[in-house]
């Protein structure tokens, strides 16, 4: 803050215990757990100014945030640093931070804001196509023009991540969010177990993967344990397979109802998971194991591989020298999809009301863009282990986990197209549960065709959502 500037600073903190599915630095992950804290911060000025002095200073402007970066979330400190930097530049603007790391509190506050007509200026609403409802009703602002008019964002933020925020596949034109951090999903493997089994390199194709699994089983190790009692673990595998078999565009076609879950190539992904199980790759008791047990078995060396997000890096710190990473293998007869991979970005939306407040919008967009700046993205990598959403961030490997360094090398050299969970492109919010139940059914007696038909019929019964 500027010297001589008299401030009133009120900070209200309320600690809340809750579980939330968040990744490092405010992202979206499939894991559970964590403490919550809800914070509300206001900063105001007492100094009187003339109208000419107020113009362009931001005085009498309040920017309200409702994000998930709060309390125990590892992005909280970084968020506070960004807010402080913004406040130092614009000391007359009031920052009202109502962020909460508790998913229920966040959702309840968001829905209450909509009902009262008092939507926050910056929101961190998760999901892709479930943004459609709020885009269509004006709750969220179309950022297309803002992005186009901001060269630092347009030219440097990963274009495929920006494309994920564009909703034309579900019938709504426009880009309604700005990605601020990213996670990717890869195989982690135990180097020592690979060496003992005589495996010289990580597999790149599925044929090589099968050979690796055979050698691991011969050495007495379960190749790849999946905590399938948490159905989302299987859902993530299917998404990865879908992208390697059909490409990211297939997920968008499913979401836009231009394709069906009963299409032959989608059914093939379900059958492939069944084949992996039948080969004994998942072990014998995987259906009764949960995610936490799956992780513990990898750490203890009871299984050699784990397919998981980059949010796992922090948990593997104590054994990172013995862990390597590789992408989901590709199919040699479908090399055109070799460079398609799963991404889990976290994003910021702006309140739709800002279209009628151009002066305020200027400041709100500048603040939101700071989370995607080159400097902030560097800190996301160093402090949180996240993959930058920009293509121009230079990082020093000795300042980060070697696993993150390996992931960044993969991202730089091999990934060209990002896609989120296949179900995330549909506007039916319960589709994740529908898909998960069907995939578990496919592993407990249903055929792949029956599982696909169950998904499609329940999806149609749930309504188009469009």
Looking at per-residue pLDDT, the higher value among 450 and 30 belongs to 450
**Is residue 3 over pLDDT 80?**
no
Mean pLDDT across the stretch 304-333? 94
pTM of the model: 0.83
- What per-residue confidence (pLDDT) applies to 25? 56
137-151, 372-386, 445-459: which range is least confident on average? 372-386
222-226, 383-387, 409-413: which range is least confident on average? 383-387
Mean pLDDT (the chain) is: 88
- What per-residue confidence (pLDDT) applies to 103? 85
- What per-residue confidence (pLDDT) applies to 18? 33
Show the 3-state SS of the chain.
Answer: CCCCCCEEEEEEEEEEECCCCEEHHHEECCCCCCEEEEEEEEEEECCCCCHHHHCCCCCCCEEEEECCCCCCCCCHHHHHHHHHHHHHHCCCCEEEECCECCHHHHHHHHHHHHHHCCCCCEECCCCCHHHHHHHHCCCECCCHHHHHCCHHHHHHECHHHHHHCECHHHCCCCECCEEEEECEEEEEEEHHHHHHCCCCCCCCEHHHHHHHHHHHHHCCCEEECCCCCCCHHHHHHHHHHHHHHCCHHHHHHHHCCCCCCCCHHHHHHHHHHHHHHHCCCCCCCHHHCCHHHHHHHHHCCCEEEEEEEHHHHHHHHHHHHHEEEECCCECHHHHHHCCEEEECCEEEEEEHHHHHCHHHHHHHHHHHHHCCCHHHHHHHHHHHCCECCECCCCCCHHHCCHHHHHHHHHHHHHCCEEECCHHHHCCCCCHHHHHHHHHHHHCCCCCHHHHHHHHHHHHHHHCCCC
- What per-residue confidence (pLDDT) applies to 28? 45
**Is residue 440 over pLDDT 50?**
yes
Q: Describe the crossing of helices 76-89 and 374-384 by its angle, rounded to 10 degrees.
A: 150
- For the chain, what percent of residues have pLDDT higher than 90? 77
Torsion on CA atoms 100, 234, 227, 451, rounded to nearest 10 = 120
- What per-residue confidence (pLDDT) applies to 126? 87
Q: pLDDT for 88-130, tens place per residue?
A: 999 999 999 999 989 889 999 999 999 999 999 999 998 888 8
Mean pLDDT across the stretch 285-289? 95
**Is residue 34 over pLDDT 60?**
no
Nearest Cα neighbor of 340 from 415, 446, 434, 441 is 415
Mean pLDDT across the stretch 408-434? 91
**Is residue 291 over pLDDT 60?**
yes
Q: pLDDT for 211-245, tens place per residue?
A: 999 999 999 999 999 999 999 999 999 999 999 99
**Is residue 33 over pLDDT 80?**
no
**Is residue 411 over pLDDT 80?**
yes
- For the chain, what percent of residues have pLDDT higher than 70? 87
Q: pLDDT for 240-269, tens place per residue?
A: 999 999 999 999 999 999 999 999 999 999
Question: Which residue carries 């993969």 as its tokens?
Answer: 410
Model confidence at 13, pLDDT cuts 50, 70, 90, reads very low
CB contact at 8 A, 389 and 180: yes
Model confidence at 55, pLDDT cuts 50, 70, 90, reads low
Model confidence at 57, pLDDT cuts 50, 70, 90, reads low
- What per-residue confidence (pLDDT) applies to 14? 31
């Amino acid at each position: 803050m500027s010297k001589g500037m008299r401030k009133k600073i009120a900070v209200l903190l309320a600690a809340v215990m809750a579980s939330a599915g968040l990744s490092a630095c405010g992202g979206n992950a499939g894991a559970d757990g964590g403490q919550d804290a809800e914070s509300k911060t206001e900063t105001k000025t007492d100094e009187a100014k003339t109208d000419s002095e107020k113009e362009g200073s931001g005085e009498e402007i309040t920017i309200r945030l409702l994000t998930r970066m709060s309390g125990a979330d590892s992005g909280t400190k970084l968020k506070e640093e960004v807010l402080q930097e913004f406040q130092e530049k614009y000391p007359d603007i009031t920052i009202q931070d109502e962020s909460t790391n508790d998913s229920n509190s966040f959702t309840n506050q968001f829905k209450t804001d909509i009902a009262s007509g008092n939507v926050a200026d910056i929101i961190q609403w998760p999901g892709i196509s479930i943004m459609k409802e709020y885009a269509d009703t004006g709750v969220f602002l179309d950022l297309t023009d803002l992005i186009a008019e901001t060269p630092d964002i347009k030219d440097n933020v990963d274009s495929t991540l920006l494309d994920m925020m564009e909703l034309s596949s579900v019938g709504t034109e426009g880009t309604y969010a700005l990605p601020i951090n990213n996670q990717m999903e890869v195989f982690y493997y135990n180097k020592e177990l690979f060496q003992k089994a005589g495996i010289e390199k990580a597999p790149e194709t599925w044929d090589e993967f099968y050979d690796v699994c055979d050698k691991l089983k011969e050495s007495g190790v379960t190749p790849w344990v999946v905590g399938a009692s948490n159905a989302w673990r299987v859902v993530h595998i299917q998404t990865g397979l879908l992208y390697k078999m059909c490409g990211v565009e297939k997920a968008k076609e499913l979401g836009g109802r231009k394709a069906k879950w009963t299409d032959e190539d989608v059914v093939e992904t379900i059958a492939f998971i069944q084949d992996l199980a039948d080969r004994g790759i998942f072990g014998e008791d995987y259906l009764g194991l949960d995610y936490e047990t799956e992780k513990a078995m990898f750490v203890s060396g009871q299984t050699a591989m784990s397919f998981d997000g980059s949010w796992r890096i922090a948990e593997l710190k104590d054994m990172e020298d013995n862990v390597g990473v590789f992408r989901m293998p590709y199919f040699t007869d479908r090399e055109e999809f070799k460079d398609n991979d799963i991404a889990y970005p976290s994003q910021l939306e702006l309140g739709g009301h800002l279209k009628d407040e151009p002066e305020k919008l200027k400041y709100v967009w500048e603040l939101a863009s700071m989370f995607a700046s080159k400097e902030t993205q560097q800190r996301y990598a160093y402090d949180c282990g996240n993959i930058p959403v920009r293509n121009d961030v230079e990082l020093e490997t000795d300042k980060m986990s070697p696993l993150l360094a390996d992931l960044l090398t993969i991202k730089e050299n091999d990934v060209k197209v990002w896609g989120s969970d296949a179900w995330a492109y549909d506007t039916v919010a319960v589709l994740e549960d529908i898909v998960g139940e069907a995939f578990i059914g496919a592993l407990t007696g249903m055929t792949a065709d029956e599982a696909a038909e169950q998904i499609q019929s329940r999806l149609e019964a749930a309504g188009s959502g469009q």
